[in-house]
Amino acid sequence: MRAVVIGAGTETARIDGISAAGADPEAMVHTPGADLEIVAYGAPVLSPVVPVSPSGCPTPALVTRAARELLGFEVLSVDAGLVRPTGAPTVTVGEEAGKDVRKACPVSNGRDVFEAARRFGRALPDDELMTGETIPGGTTTAMAVLSALGERTTVSSSLQKNPLSLKQRVVEEALAASDLSEGGAADEPIEALRCMGDPMLAAAVGFVRGASETGTDVTLAGGTQMAAVGALARHAGVEASLTLATTSFVVRDDSADIDGLAADLDIDLVVTDPGFEELDHPATNAYIAGEAKEGVGMGGALALCKRAGVPMAEVSDRVVTVYERLVGNGQADVNRTEP
């Protein structure tokens, strides 16, 4: 089992109020690179911060790292177009961050990214791969892509309260900018991701397509963004069985309707509840309140722990350990607003 985490940027994240994947827009450009470093090394290395939401919720990268420390699975970081360089070792499949989805063709290199990732997915020798993402603003581009494909546009949010009407407005502007109607890019996944997506989506669907061509078992680790990858894969002709491993926090988010989305796409849903309610700790409390919910492969990492028989209490304890280690270094509080 190898976990593939795909990082990228999109200017869509700069739209005010769209994402909580960083303390502020300035910090947000560092989030994907920092997430990859935390999963790779257990701490940021070249990135200046531990990503936290404006209210102080730490990045789900801590959960994926905790799972990795318990299970020792291998992680492959993929750079699909990061805004800032990361200190994590990466395979690069794209060199440019995405433009604002309200512009025409925000992912102009989308076909190249797709093809590079596809070659790569085909080449990996693993029998089983899990793939997750880190891209602030990604649920909005996911919604835009689902709209262009004519799929159910129900997406989750890293914010406690999903800014759905704002997202809907952005998607409408995006459709108009690319002269597309809802469902106008059905069966044209490359068109959908070039006009309405982000570089992570381009890389992830290429990757899934390539891996499935060689019979590799693929788990999409994440929430509605990874479901959008599944939608793109289905529209790209991937018929292999696909699993979406997500968290109970995404399932509890009615605006996400992850069950409906997965069912539409004939994707098996695996849900893991980390049992954070058992703790009362700043590392986990914001999740219970409905922030963050998913990301950086969190749902998949939890599913791996469950499959390996690691009790969720042990996972939570390790999340706290990782958090304390980072806070102990004075790093986690850098951008944290005390509640």
Residues at the site binding a copy of itself, with contacts judged by CB under 8 A: 41-43, 45-46, 72, 76-78, 87-91, 119-120, 123-126
Please count the CA atoms within 13 angstroms of the CA of 31 that sit on its side-chain side: 36
Residue closer to a copy of itself (CB basis): 69 or 264: 69
CB of 99 to a copy of itself, least distance (A): 25
Minimum distance from CB of 123 to a copy of itself (Å)?
Answer: 4
Sign of CA dihedral 338, 31, 62, 131: positive
| Rounded least distance, CB 2 to a copy of itself, Å | 8
Rounded Cα–Cα distance for residues 183 and 277 (Å): 40
Q: What angle do CA 95, 17, 97 make, to 5 degrees?
A: 5
Q: Which amino acid is at 104?
A: A
Crossing angle of helices 61-71 and 31-41, rounded to 10°: 20
Min dist. Cβ of residue 165 to a copy of itself (A): 40
> Which tokens in the block code for residue 336?
């944290």
Minimum CB–partner distance for residue 44 and a copy of itself (Å): 9
Residue 72 or 339 having the CB closest to a copy of itself: 72
Nearer to a copy of itself, 46 or 308 (CB): 46
Enclosing H/E stretch for 295: none
- Residue 75: C-alpha distances to residues 4, 115, 301 (Å): 6, 21, 11
Residue 233 or residue 322: which is nearer to a copy of itself going by CB? 322
Cβ 217 to a copy of itself, closest distance in Å?
A: 17
Is 248 or 321 the residue whose CB approaches a copy of itself more closely? 321
Amino acid code (one letter) for 199 = P
- In Å, how far are 116, 262, 268, 314 from 74, measured between CA atoms? 21, 27, 23, 20
Q: Which is nearer to a copy of itself, 91 or 312 (CB)?
A: 91
Smaller CB separation from a copy of itself, 35 or 291: 35
What letter does residue 275 receive in the DSSP assignment? -
HSE at residue 80, side-chain half, CA atoms within 13 A, is: 38
Does residue 174 contact residue 102 with C-beta atoms inside 8 Å? yes
Count of C-beta atoms within a 10 Å radius of residue 278: 11
Cβ proximity of 271 and 312 under 8 Å: no
In the complex, minimum distance from the CB of residue 310 to a copy of itself, in angstroms, rounded to a whole number: 17
Q: In whole angstroms, how close is the CB of 92 to a copy of itself at the nearest point?
A: 8
